[in-house]
Structure 1
């Protein structure tokens, strides 16, 4: 029997910066409906040997989204109050900002090369982002 759709796996995190970590694979699907969410994601995907990285959301409403066939995805959904100040939310509300220059091993973010993270080491990756000032957390939101 052929598999169709998106296979999605996700897990929670003990990091105060991360809402959840997820990964998925697409099979014989070219579109999905994204859900409205207050969270934003850092998404990595590979399709036909090319790696892409983007910051996506938050999304104010559900809507159609293209899905490349036979692609693998990995993402970090960030906790409320977490942000990357150098990428204002206005650039990605109801959309995304692609981060150019990704390879199978690394990508560029805020002037530095970053090793591609994975499902099992997302927390270490986020700790480095915090240490280097790329990722911050609003203390008022964090206190709630």
Structure 2
């Protein structure tokens, strides 16, 4: 279980007042208010090193670098998550049906998952993730 510098448990029960204190304004907007960074601006969009992508809110491991691929969409793309790390929710905002993905531990907004786009990946899925929602930890 992740904790803040002050030893506060970080999960779905964490009060918004705590998130506002520990996250930057941009992280709070994306992770807690379901915002989206502009396409092509995220630090992990064209980043392909060995390691693990963890939730920027609570530190839960979400994606392995082996599942990251270049989709050309302007955001980091993964074809699969670490089992049990990501939850899916139907999102009907903006007059369309999408599937939102969130951190299973803290509920932080990651982005959306799309299926059947024809990418040559084992799952035929594209997890379109905001760079701000994750932190990369290099393989040791």
Q: TM-score range by the shorter chain?
A: under 0.3
Bigger proportion of residues as strand:
1
Compare relative contact order (CA 8 Å, sep 6+) and give the higher one, 1 or 2.
Answer: 2
Bigger proportion of residues as helix:
2
Q: TM-score, normalised by structure 2?
A: 0.27
Q: TM-score, normalised by structure 1?
A: 0.26
